[in-house]
Amino acid sequence: MRPDRFTHFLAIDWSGAKGERLKGIALSLADAKGGPPVLVEPPRRGWSREDVLAIMRDDLPPATLVGMDLGISLPFADAGAFFPGWKESPPDAKSLWELIDQICADDPHLECGSFVTHPQGSRYFRHAKDHIGDRFHLPGAQTREGRFRRAEIAQRQQGVRPVSNFNLVGAAQVGKSSLTGMRMLHNLRDHLSVWPVDPLPENGPVVVEMYTSIAARGGGVGGAKTKLRSYEDLNAALDALGSAPVAGSGPIDDHSSDALVTAAWLRKIGHQPEFWRPKGLSRHIARTEGWTFGAV
């Protein structure tokens, strides 16, 4: 990994919510030359997923490492398939993105409602406390929390608690964020690389999956809670990451703080070879499940 491989680091706190303009989306950019990470100014009514798609397709600096807070794929290795028992189950992550985008083609704003209500697809998800698809729990599963990818198992070994991407319930769920994100990744296939589904290229922008709790831990945040809800706590984490502070005091929304701390974290570790060679990542896992950057 060349020390000058990336010149900018963009962190995207993503949202799977319904609607066009979403409070849950925040973007932060850090320059490899230094200085504090900065929030990217949203449109007047807030970000849409289509806005982010346009930036990633047309407006990225050419050597940008992009971290997105979502799952780039679903569990595969545990059952030898994303959707065991469904004949349409795709063979790899890119085919999964395509299937989701096709089924949701009529859903506005890159939403995923048609997939989670699909007669077959819905069977694999937990939709509500009392509405669990009959294939959410596989026979012989190791946990009642749903299925996990190899990267999520590695995250748990590092002390953070990711939720299954098949879970659509609760504040910590990332199922809908992941499905809407996969629609966007499908629409970006000819424009940038998505590691490790794609090999790391010598040049050009690269997207990685990231988990903001890992970034916060990198900034010295310990314990069960990893959200930074004040400028003072945020700047303490930025200092631990070797970053200049951002201006402000008092409360900050956690979408903004997640994006800011993660941009600084990506800048700190993005050139370190060990993060591009996690021990649990094989070619098969890369092609099917992908990986979470920072899970080593």
Instruction: Give the HSE-up count for residue 144: Cα atoms under 13 Å, Cβ half-sphere.
Output: 1
Question: Which one of 2.30.29, 3.30.420, 3.40.210, 3.40.50 gives the CATH number of domain 8-72+188-276?
Answer: 3.30.420
Preceding omega of 196 cis (within 30 degrees of 0): yes
- Domain chopping of the chain, boundaries: 8-72+188-276, 93-184
Per-residue pLDDT of the chain (296 residues; tens, 9 = 90+): 676 899 999 999 999 999 999 999 999 999 999 999 999 999 999 999 999 999 999 999 999 999 999 999 999 999 999 999 999 999 999 999 999 999 999 999 999 999 999 999 999 999 998 899 999 988 755 567 899 999 999 999 988 888 999 999 987 789 999 999 999 999 999 899 999 999 999 999 999 999 988 888 888 776 556 788 899 999 999 999 999 999 999 999 999 999 999 999 999 999 999 999 999 999 999 999 999 999 98
What's the pLDDT at 273?
93
What are the residues whose beta carbons fall under 8 Å from the beta carbon of 215, sequence distance 6 or more? 11, 67, 258, 261, 262, 265, 266, 294
